[in-house]
Amino acid sequence: MTEANGTAVDDSRDDAVFKALANSTRRHILDLLRAEPRTTGDVCEAFPDLDRTTVLQHIRVLEKAELLTGTRIGKTRRLALAPLPIKRIHDRWIGEYTRAAVNLLAELDDST
């Protein structure tokens, strides 16, 4: 598929991002990492109602969607937000719809 500007679109990458963002726990993990990078242990501790395995499964989904990166420092793994997939979603979906809404509002304003 291609966008209106001729740019090729990889829907499978967008599908992975939407799937990752569809879950509230994963969105909360991204919120934590938006503030600052954290260790895997720190992220697990932020969700006391979930066992470590469940949190790690959520982290894997986020990594598959390329929404976060992990760097190993000794025995510790440091996770960081990778914002480019969200920017890609914004540019393709939100930005286009925002521009259309602004144009529509401008047309309404011009007609009064």
CATH of residue 18's domain is: 1.10.10.10
- Mean pLDDT score, 86-95: 83
105 located within any domain: no
**Predicted TM-score (pTM) of this structure:** 0.76
Does residue 3 carry a pLDDT above 70? Answer: no
Range of the domain at 66: 11-82
93 located within any domain: no
99 located within any domain: no
Mean pLDDT of the chain: 87
**How large a percentage of the chain has pLDDT more than 90?**
61
Please give the pLDDT value at position 8.
56
Q: How far apart are CA 66 and CA 88, in angstroms?
A: 12
Q: How far apart are CA 85 and CA 102, in angstroms?
A: 24
Give DSSP secondary structure letters for the chain: -B-TTS-B--HHHHHHHHHHHTSHHHHHHHHHHHH--EEHHHHHHT-TTS-HHHHHHHHHHHHHTTSEEEEEETTEEEEEE--HHHHHHIIIIIHHHHHHHHHHHHHHHHH-
Please give the pLDDT value at position 94.
80
What total of structural domains would you count in the chain? 1
- Mean pLDDT score, 68-83: 93
107 located within any domain: no
Does residue 9 carry a pLDDT above 70? Answer: no
Q: How far apart are CA 26 and CA 50, in angstroms?
A: 12
Does residue 2 carry a pLDDT above 60? Answer: no
92 located within any domain: no
